[in-house]
């Protein structure tokens, strides 16, 4: 079986999406031949198979204004390449890639496509018509959480497979650094206070500015407490300005992007996830598997993972988040982490994801 894994773009902003595709493709079977195609940008894609960079014009890909006139030319190039690759299965990264590629299935009758959704997407009427144009034996649709799958089913009126991303527990745990080593890698100061962590792109939807404000209020009487935010993005300068304005230099750390992020969770005593919206929120799983308790926004996708063990807080409510931060201590951390791990059930989640991934690719 020849699989073309077609991704929107490469680079650190898309790391979590590539991680999901890598895990899915790891269940393709020993006979699978995998080729990864990046429509935009550069960089290692999913780590399985070969990688081809297309460097397509972004405006043409999005079909804006006169740039949409280039789309037939882009499709012609892709159709020829897919025919040369003798692809059997296309794994497509969300609706953006699907808009470009799915029309090609009409000209390549032996090929099947799998569209994997990673986050909430506003589907247009033309998107719905396109995704409903093909029968189930030619097009499968999957989503990384049940919450997202149910929303897509309502929009499309056709089945959507839940493929909740999971990690192989033993391999994940074995890769973890010790607390001391992880804090050294992040260049965190030695402290007797709590170290709160946050992980994600520095973008507005992650709500890190609110978290910094809440940290300032919640730790006013805890000068040794620290907040470390791992990630990079367009809000970095604004967040640093907020840190400076609140007098939090040396206590709140913007740690930047780390390729070894998955190994660093034990640097934290608690993980804060203040997101306004998430398709899955893989960081919740990673923290719980590292025995780090999670405090998160009250979003359905987090309740799906942590059930009644989650510490759910209103989105964007600085006062409530500050109060929760003030209550963080070592005594409650271990007990909450144990309950959250039991709810997450990593071993069962991994088995379900493994069988679901094989079914998606082979079906």
pLDDT > 90? residue 3: yes
Same domain, 155 and 182: no
The answer for residues whose C-beta is within 8 angstroms of residue 192's C-beta and 6 or more apart is: 224
Specify the pLDDT at position 180: 96
> Does residue 83 surpass a pLDDT of 90?
yes
pLDDT at 206: 97
What is the residue whose two structure tokens read 């009250």? 298
pLDDT tens digits, 238-248:
999 999 999 99
H/E stretch holding 62 reads helix 58-62
Q: Could you tell me the pLDDT band of residue 177, with boundaries at 50, 70 and 90?
A: very high
Which pLDDT does position 63 carry in this prediction? 74
Domain end (from 144, 163, 182): 163
pLDDT on residue 47: 66
Count of structural domains within the chain: 2
Residue 320 lies in a domain: yes
246-293 pLDDT, tens per residue?
Answer: 999 999 999 999 989 999 999 999 999 999 999 888 999 999 999 999
Contacts of 348 (CB under 8 A, 6+ apart): none
Q: Per DSSP, which regions of 41-183 are E strands?
A: 50-53, 89-93, 112-117, 139-143, 161-162
215 lies in the same domain as 119 = no
- Residue 74 · residue 56 · CB < 8 Å: yes
Mean pLDDT of 173-193: 95
Confidence of residue 77 (pLDDT cuts 50, 70, 90): very high
Q: List, for residues 321-355, the tens digit of each pLDDT value.
A: 999 999 999 889 999 999 999 999 999 999 999 99
Kindly state whether residues 140 and 191 are assigned to the same domain: no
Report the distance separating Cα 75 and Cα 102, nearest Å.
10
Are residue 78 and residue 194 in the same domain, yes or no?
no
Does some domain include residue 275? Answer: yes
Instruction: Return the pLDDT at 71.
Output: 85
The answer as to whether 362 is a domain residue is no
**Tokens representing 53?**
């960079």
Q: What is the pLDDT of residue 49?
A: 87
Residue 14 domain-assigned (yes or no): yes
Residues 43 and 148 in one domain: yes
CA distances from 36 to 20, 28, 58, 73, 233 (A): 13, 14, 18, 21, 25
pLDDT value at residue 208 = 98
Residues 204 and 300 in one domain: yes
Q: Is residue 355 part of a domain?
A: no
* Residues 225, 215: Cα–Cα separation, whole Å: 9
Per-residue pLDDT of 15-71, as tens digits, reads 888 989 999 999 999 899 999 999 998 866 666 889 999 998 888 888 776 777 788
The pLDDT of residue 44: 61
Residue 16 belongs to some domain of the structure? yes
Phi/psi for 17 (5° steps) reads -65, -40
pLDDT of residue 46: 63
205 and 121 together in one domain: no
Show which of 129, 163, 197 is a domain's final residue.
Answer: 163
**Can you read off the two tokens belonging to residue 295?**
């405090």
Same domain, 307 and 188: yes
Residues 262 and 314 in one domain: yes
pLDDT at residue 92, as a whole number: 97
Of 71-75, 219-223, 309-313, the one with minimum mean pLDDT is: 71-75
Predicted pLDDT of residue 263: 97
Which residue among 131, 163, 195 closes a domain?
163
In CATH, what number is assigned to the domain containing residue 94?
A: 3.40.50.11930
Q: Is the pLDDT of residue 169 over 90?
A: yes
Containing structural domain, residue 218: 169-346
In terms of domains, do 131 and 259 share one?
no
CATH number at residue 326: 3.40.50.2000
Confirm whether 86 is domain-assigned.
yes
- The answer to whether residues 341 and 225 belong to one domain is yes
Rounded to the nearest integer, the mean pLDDT of the chain is: 93
The pLDDT value recorded for residue 121 is 83
Asked if 215 and 335 sit in the same domain, the reply is: yes
Tokens representing 354 are: 């493994």
Residue 122 has pLDDT above 90, yes or no: no
> Does 360 map to a domain?
no
């Amino acid at each position: 079986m020849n699989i073309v894994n077609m991704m929107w773009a490469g680079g650190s902003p898309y790391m979590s999406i590539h991680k999901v595709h890598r895990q899915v493709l790891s269940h393709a079977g020993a006979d699978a031949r995998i080729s990864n195609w990046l429509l935009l940008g550069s960089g290692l894609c999913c780590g399985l198979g070969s990688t081809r960079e297309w460097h397509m014009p972004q405006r043409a890909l999005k079909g804006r204004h006169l740039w949409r006139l280039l789309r037939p030319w882009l499709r012609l190039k892709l159709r020829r390449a897919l025919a040369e690759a003798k692809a059997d299965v296309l794994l497509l990264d969300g609706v953006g890639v699907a808009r470009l590629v799915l029309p090609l299935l009409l000209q390549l009758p032996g090929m099947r496509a799998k569209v994997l959704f990673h986050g909430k997407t506003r589907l247009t009427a033309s998107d719905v018509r396109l995704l409903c144009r093909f029968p189930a034996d030619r097009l499968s649709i999957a989503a990384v959480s049940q919450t997202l799958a149910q929303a897509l089913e309502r929009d499309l009126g056709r089945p959507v497979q839940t493929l909740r991303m999971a990690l192989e527990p033993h391999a994940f745990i074995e890769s973890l650094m010790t607390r001391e080593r992880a804090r050294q890698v992040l260049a965190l100061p030695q402290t007797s206070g709590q170290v709160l962590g946050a992980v994600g792109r520095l973008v507005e939807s992650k709500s890190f500015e609110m978290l910094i404000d809440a940290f300032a209020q919640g730790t006013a009487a805890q000068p040794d407490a620290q907040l470390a935010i791992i990630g990079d993005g367009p809000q970095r300068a604004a967040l640093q300005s907020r840190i400076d304005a609140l007098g939090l230099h040396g206590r709140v750390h913007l740690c930047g992007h780390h390729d070894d992020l998955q190994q660093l969770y034990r640097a934290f005593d608690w993980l804060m996830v203040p997101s306004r919206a998430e398709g899955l929120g893989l960081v919740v799983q990673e923290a719980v598997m590292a025995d780090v308790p999670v405090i998160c926004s009250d979003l359905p996708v987090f309740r799906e993972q942590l059930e009644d063990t989650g510490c759910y807080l209103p989105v964007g409510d600085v006062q409530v988040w500050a109060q929760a931060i003030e209550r963080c201590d070592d005594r409650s951390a271990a007990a909450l982490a144990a309950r959250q791990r039991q709810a997450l059930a990593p071993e069962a989640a991994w088995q379900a994801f493994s069988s679901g991934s094989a079914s998606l690719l082979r079906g």
